[in-house]
Structure 1
Amino acid sequence: MTNVNLKELRELRELAPPAAMPPRDIRAPRRPLLSFLVRLDTLRVVARVVMLVAIDAAAISAAIYTALWIKAATIAPAARPYVGSQTADYAPLACLVAMLLFARSGLYRERAQRPGLSKVGSSLFQATLVILVYALIEGHHFRSYYVFYASLAFAVVYVGVLRWGFERLSGWVLRAAGFRRRALLVGRPGHVERVAEALRDSSEIEPFGYVLIGDQGERAGNGFHAHRLRDFGSFEAIDRHLDSVEELLLCDPEFPSEQAVELVERCHQAGVRVKVAPSTLEILMDRVEFVPGQALPLFELRPPVFEGVDFVVKRLFDLVVAASLVVVLSPLMAAIALAIKLTSRGPILYRSMRPGIGGRPFPCLKFRTMVEGAEDLQDLLEEENEKDGAIFKIRDDPRVTPLGRVLRRWSLDELPQLFNVLRGEMSLVGPRPLPMRDYLRLEQWHRKRYLVLPGITGLWQVSGRSELDFDELVRLDFLYLERWSVWLDLAILIRTVPAVLRARGAW
C-alpha cells in the first residue's frame, strides 16, 4: 500500500463495483433530518402531543371549574365570583401531575399504541391521590373531599369525550390526507377475510394485499373474497412484495411457529413492521402466573372470576350507577310502560328466564316488544333464523309490535334490567344473558362466559352487535373477562351511548 498514491486509490475505488447495501433493519435508528424531510414524522409527533396536551389541560381545568362552581352554587353562592381564580390556583398542578402520569401510561403515543379510557381513568385517579397527599403534607385541611372526587369524575368524562372527538377528527383528517399504512395480510382465508373486514374503517391501516397459507382447495372451500386486495401469491414469494407495504399482519392464530420466526426476521430486514391479530390463547396470557419449582417452566391460567376486592368494587359501581340511572330515567320508563299498555294487549314487562352466573336461571326483565304468546310461536320460525350458532335472530320478526321495533332499535326495551342489577342478578357490564333456547345450544367452551354475572351491555354491544357471528361474540366476552377493570366498565358504558344512537346491528 505504501507504493500506491492517493490518486491511484481514488481511481481503483471508482472502477470497483459498488458494494451491496446491507438490508435495513427496522430496529436501526433513522436519521432525524431525513425522516423529517421525507415523512414529516417529527412534525406530526409534535403536533399530536401538543394537541393532546392542550385537550387534556382544557378538560382537567374545566373539570375543576365545574366541581367548584357546583359547590359554590349549592352551598355558598357568594363564592361564585371566585371560582375562576380558584381554578387558576388548582389547575396548573393538577394538569402537570396528570400529564406526567398520562405520558408514563403511553397516552401521548401514536394512535395505534395509545390506550383507551380505562388507562385515562386510572391515571386521573392516581393524579388525584398524588395531589391529595401533597395537599395534606403541605398542611391543608378540608371539611370534605368533594372537590377531589367531583373533579375526578368530571375529568374522566371531559377528557374521555374530548379525546374521543380528537380521535374521530384526526382519523378523518388522516384518511382524507392519505396517511394510511399499507398492510399485507397473511393467514388462512377465513382469518384474512375477517381481519380485512375489521380494518375496513381504520384510519391508520389500509389492507393492501394478502398471502394465503393452506392449499388451494381450502381457499376455494371457504369461498374467499379478496375485497379488492391484491393477491401476492405464495408464502415463499413474500420478499418480492415487502417494498410495497409498511406493515405485515399475521392473521392466523395457528400460523406455524418456525415460519413465523423466519417471516418476522425477513420483514425486519426489509424495514417492515410485523403485527399479530390476537388469538384466544394470547388473550389468556394476560393473567398467566409463573409456577416455580418445576422441572419444566410452567404457567398457570387463573380462572377469570371477580372475587375479593374486585367483586366489591364492581358491585359498588353497579349499585351506584344503576340506582342513579333508575332515578334519572324513571320518567322515560313510565312513558314507555304507558305506551305499551295503550298499543297492545298483554303485560308491560316480559320476564325471560335466562341462565345467569354459574348457569342458574333468573327472570331477566324487559319491556314487552312482541305480541302476547310470542314464545309459543318460535318453533314455527326456526327455519327463518338468520344467525349462525346458538343465537336466534330474524331481522323482520313478525311477532314484534310496531312500538316494539322502535324500542328494540334504540335498546329501550333493556331499561328494566337496571332492577336486575339492583337485585344482584346482573351487572351493568358483562356477557349478555342468552335465552334458555340459545343456552342449550352452546358448545362447552362457550359456557366460560357464565363464570361472571351477565350484563346489560358489553363488548358485544359496542363492537357491532348483531352484525357479528356468534363465535366472534363469545371471543369478545373472553376478552372482557381477561381485561376487566372498573375503567373498562366505564369505557364500555360510555361507548354504549354512541353505539345505541347509531343503532347498527340492532334488530
Structure 2
Amino acid sequence: MAAEELRLLPSQRRRVIDAPTVPLPENHQPFLPVALPTSLRRSSAPGPHRQPVWQRQYSRTIAVTDALAALVGAVLGYLLRFGDAPHAVGPSVAWTMALLPPVWVVSMLLFRAYEPRFHGVGSEEFQRVLLAGTTVVALVGTVSWAFALDVARGFVVIALPVAGVLTVAARLAVRRYLHHRRAAGECMQSTVVAGHPGAVASLVRQVQRNTDHGLRVDGACTPDGRSTPELDALGVPVLGSLDDIADVARDVDVDVVATLTCPELDGPVLRRLGWELEDTRADLVVAPALTDVVGPRVVIRPVSGLPLLHVDRPELRGIRHAGKALFDRGSAALGLLLLSPLFLLVAIAIKVDDPGPVFFRQTRVGRDGREFSMVKFRSMVTDAEKLLIDLREQSEGNGLLFKMRRDPRVTRVGTLLRRYSLDELPQLFNVVGGSMSLVGPRPPLPREVAEYGTDLRRRLLVKPGLTGLWQVSGRSDLDLEESTRLDLQYVENWSPAFDVMILAKTAQAVFGGRGAY
C-alpha cells in the first residue's frame, strides 16, 4: 500500500483500498524454522481473534515444552523413587504420571501463561508459571487426601519441582530464540503510534533500540495528520490525524495501537477508540506521561470509576536493602575465593605484558556523594592519565565519559581484559568493603558528578554497581541520554528480582563482548 494512499481521508481510503492488509517485509518468517507458504503467513480475513502465524506457533511450542517438562518430571520422579522397587508402584502413581502432563498444560492455560502479550517480554509469564505449578501441587495434595489415594510423597516431591524447573528453562530457551528472530526483524508486531510528533519520535527511538519487545512502528497518527523532519528521519510515515486512528488500524491491519498522553486523547476519546477497535485485531496500549516507572511501584487505583495510577515511592532504604547488602557482601566474598586462581593468572599476564602495578586505583563517587577508591586490574600503560590530555578531542564517549574504540593507552593484555570485563573483577573487593554493590548505576568520576544536573544526581541515591542496566544494554555503545535513562530506571524500580534479572543477563553481555572497549 503506497504511503500516499494512506494519507487520504478515511472515506477516500475505503474506496482506494481493497484488501485490509499490507504486504509483509521480505524477511518476515513464521516463528518456527520451517517456512510456510506466503499465503498462510498472514490471514487476509479481518477479525478481532485472528493472530499472526508466529504467535500461534509460539504458543503451541511452549505448550509442547510444558507437557514434555511435566513428562520428564514424572519419569524422573518414578525412577528416583521406585527405580529399585517397581513392584511398589500403586495405581495412583501410574495415574499421576499419566495425568500430570495434560493437567500441567491445562493449569498453565487457566492461569493464562500462554497469553500472546507475555511472549518474549517481562517476568509476568514466569509468575503465572509459578502460580500454575503451585496450583498443581495443591491439587495433587487435595485429591489424594479427598479420595484417600496412596500417592507417594517422595514421587511428588521430585516430579513437580523438576517439572517446574524444566518448564522455566524451556520457556527461557524459546524466548531467547524469539529474541534472536526479532533481532533479524522477524516475529514483530505491527504498530501504529498516536500522539504529538516529539513524543512519537521518542517512543520510536526506544522501540528501535530494543527489538526484544517485538514492536515494529509502521506508522503514526499526529494531531494535524502532518509529518515532521524528525519522523521522516526515523522512517515513520504519518498515516492520518488523531481522528483517523481506528481507520488506519483497520486499513493497515496492525497488531498494536499505542497512544501517547496528550490533551486530544483524553478518557472519553480513548474509551470510544477502544470500542472502534473491537472489530479489529489491534490491541490498544496507552503510554502514560510517567515513563521509566514500572513494576510493583505502579498499580491501578479505581476512584469513583476513574482508573488512577498509584505510584509508590522508590525503595531506597529498608529491610530489603539490608538484605541486598548482605547478599552482595556474601556473594562477593565467595566470588573472590572461587576466582583467586584466575586473579593470579591475570596478575602474571599483566606483569609480563607491561611493567608496572597489577591493580589500578581511581577515585569514584558512591552513594550520597561519598568518594571511595575503586580498584581494577590495570589495562593501560602506567602514564595513561597524562596521555589523556592529548586524546580528549578524539573521545567517542557520551559527553561526560571519555571512550575510544582504539585507545592507544590500552595494553595488549588490557584489550582482552576489557573485552570480557575481566578488569572489573577486583571491584569485588569494593563490594565486600561496602562502597559498591553487585548491581547498580555505573560508578562516576568526581569530574563527571560536578557536571550532573538534578536528574543525574539521583544516580547517587544508591550504591554504584559492578554491573547494571548499562552493562547489559550496550555498555560503551550507549549515548549519554540512554545511559542516564537506564541508571535512573534502575534507581526508580529497584527490587531483588530486578537484580537477579540483571545478573543473569550480565554473563551474556560479557561473553558476547558487545559494546566493550
Shared fold (TM-score, shorter chain, > 0.5)? yes
Distance 2:466 2:270 in 1: 43
Deviations 1:173-204 (A, max 9, x none): 78999754321233455543443344443574
1:200-239 equivalence runs, <5 A: 200=208, 201=211, 204-212=214-222, 219-220=228-229, 224-232=231-239, 234-235=241-242, 238=245
* 1:49-78 deviation line (CA, Å, top 9, x unaligned): 453244346557778999999xx9xxxxx9
Residue number in structure 2 paired with 1:339: 349
User: How far is the alpha carbon of 1:225 from its aligned partner?
Assistant: 4.4
- Distance change (3 Å), C-alpha of 1:284 and 1:184: closer
Give the one of 449, 455, 467 matched to 1:457.
467
Change (3 A) 1:67 1:244: same
The code of the aligned residue for 2:411 comes to: T
- Asked whether the 8 Å contact 2:219–2:239 carries over to 1, the reply is yes
Q: Could you say what secondary structure the match of 1:362 adopts?
A: strand
Q: Kindly provide the CA deviation profile for residues 311-369 of structure 1, in whole angstroms up to 9, marking residues without a partner as x.
A: 24323432443344334433222221211111113221112221112121222221111
3-state secondary structure, aligned to 1:283: coil
| Alpha-carbon RMSD | 5.1
Is 1:427–1:454's contact at 8 Å kept on the other side of the alignment? yes
1:42-57 matches, within 5 Å, as: 48-56=58-66
CA shift digits 1:127-179 (9 cap, x unpaired): 679969998x9899999xx9899x68x965x5554323212334667899975
1:232 match: secondary structure: strand
Q: Deviation string for 1:455-487 (max 9, x for gaps)?
A: 111122222223332232232233333443323
Alignment of 1:475-486 (within 5 A): 475-486=485-496
- Partner of 1:330 in structure 2? 340
- Of the three residues 190, 195, 210, the one matched with 2:203 is 195
Which of residues 414, 425, 450 is equivalent to 1:415? 425
Match of residue 434, structure 1, among 436, 444, 449: 444
d(CA) in 2 for partners of 1:92 and 1:420? 53
- Amino acid in structure 2 at the alignment position of 1:435: L
For residues 72-99 of structure 1, what are the alpha-carbon distances to aligned partners after superposition, in whole Å with 9 as ceiling and x for unaligned?
Answer: 9xxxxx999789x999999899989987
Residues 246 and 273 of structure 2 are in contact (CA less than 8 Å); yes or no, is this contact kept in structure 1?
yes
447 and 176 in structure 1: CA distance in 2 versus 1, 3 angstrom threshold: closer
Q: CA 1:59 to 1:414, structure 2 compared with 1: closer, same or farther past 3 Å?
A: farther
Query: Is the 2:108–2:128 Cα contact (8 Å) retained in structure 1?
Result: no
Change (3 A) 1:332 1:61: farther
Q: Letter of the aligned partner of 1:304 in structure 2?
A: E
1:81-230 matches, cutoff 5 A? 106-112=112-118, 116-117=122-123, 120=126, 124=130, 159-170=167-178, 180-189=188-197, 191-200=199-208, 201=211, 204-212=214-222, 219-220=228-229, 224-230=231-237
**TM-fit CA distance, 1:385:** 2.8
**1:405 Cα offset (Å):** 2.0
- How many Å separate the matches in 2 of 1:458 and 1:499? 11
| Cα distance between partner residues in 1 of 2:123 and 2:295 | 22
Cα distance, 1:267–1:361 mapped onto 2, change above 3 Å: same
Distance change in 2, residues 1:47/1:396 (3 Å): closer
Map of 2:313 onto structure 1 = 302
8 Å CA contact 1:117, 1:160 repeated in 2: no
Change in Cα spacing, 1:55 to 1:98, as seen in structure 2 (3 Å) is same
- The letter of the residue matching 1:230 is P
Whole-angstrom CA distance in 2 between matches of 1:88 and 1:414: 53
The CA distance in 1 between the partners of 2:386 and 2:255, in whole Å, is 53
1:368 aligns with 2:378: yes
Paired with 2:99 and 2:318, the residues of 1 have a C-alpha distance of 36
Q: Distance in 2 between matches of 1:321 and 1:421?
A: 9
Distance 1:88 1:387 in 2: 63
Q: Whole-Å Cα distance in 2 between the matches of residues 131 and 219 of structure 1?
A: 57
Amino acid at match of 1:195: L
Give the direction of change, closer, same or farther, for the CA distance of 1:45–1:306 in structure 2 (3 Å limit): same
CA contact (8 A) 2:356 2:382 kept: yes
Q: Secondary structure at the match of 2:293?
A: helix
> What SS is found at the alignment partner of 1:274?
strand
Structure 2 match to 1:355: 365
From the superposition, tell whether residues 448 and 334 of structure 1 become closer, same or farther in structure 2 (CA, over 3 Å). same
* Cα 1:421/1:171, change in 2 over 3 Å: closer
Q: Structure 1's 197 and 247: CA in aligned 2 closer, same or farther, altered over 3 A?
A: same
- Does the residue aligned with 2:339 lie in a helix, a strand or coil? helix
Does the CA contact (< 8 Å) of 2:191 and 2:217 recur in 1?
A: yes
Letter in 1 for 2:175: E
CA contact 1:211–1:235 (8 Å) conserved in 2: yes
1: distance between equivalents of 2:412 and 2:391?
Answer: 19
- Which one-letter code corresponds to 2:316 in the other structure? V
Q: Secondary structure of 1:331's match?
A: helix
Aligned length: 456
TM-score (norm 2): 0.68
Are the structure 2 counterparts of residues 399 and 208 from structure 1 closer, same or farther at C-alpha, using a change threshold of 3 Å?
A: same
Distance, in Å, in 1 between the alignment partners of 2:131 and 2:256 is 37
Question: Which amino acid in 2 is paired with 1:322?
Answer: A
Contact 1:186 1:250 in 2 (8 A): yes
Q: Is the 8 A contact 2:195 2:222 kept in 1?
A: yes
Provide the secondary structure at the position in 1 that maps to 2:511. Answer: helix
What displacement does 1:45 show?
7.0
Rounded Cα–Cα distance in structure 2 between residues aligned with 1:436 and 1:350: 17
Q: CA deviation at 1:269?
A: 0.9
* TM score, norm. by length of structure 1: 0.69
- What is the rounded CA distance, in whole Å, between the counterparts of 1:431 and 1:175 in structure 2? 26
The question of whether the paired residues in 1 share the 8 Å contact of 2:298 and 2:311 is answered with yes
- 1:430·1:458 contact (CA, 8 Å) conserved in 2? yes
Distance 1:478 1:238 in 2: 33
Distance of 2:296 and 2:127 partners within structure 1:
20
Conserved 8 A contact 1:306-1:452: no
SS of 1:497 mapped into structure 2: helix
Aligned-pair CA distance for 1:374: 2.0
CA–CA distance in 2 between the matches of 1:274 and 1:464?
Answer: 30
Q: Which amino acid aligns with 1:246?
A: V
Cα distance in 1 for partners of 2:47, 2:242 equals 34
Q: Which amino acid aligns with 1:302?
A: R
Structure 1 segment 19-38 matched on structure 2, within 5 A: none
Does residue 378 (structure 1) correspond to residue 378 (structure 2)? The answer is no
Q: Once structures 1 and 2 are overlaid, which stretch shifts more, 191-200 or 369-378?
A: 191-200
- Say which SS state the counterpart of residue 482 (structure 2) adopts: helix
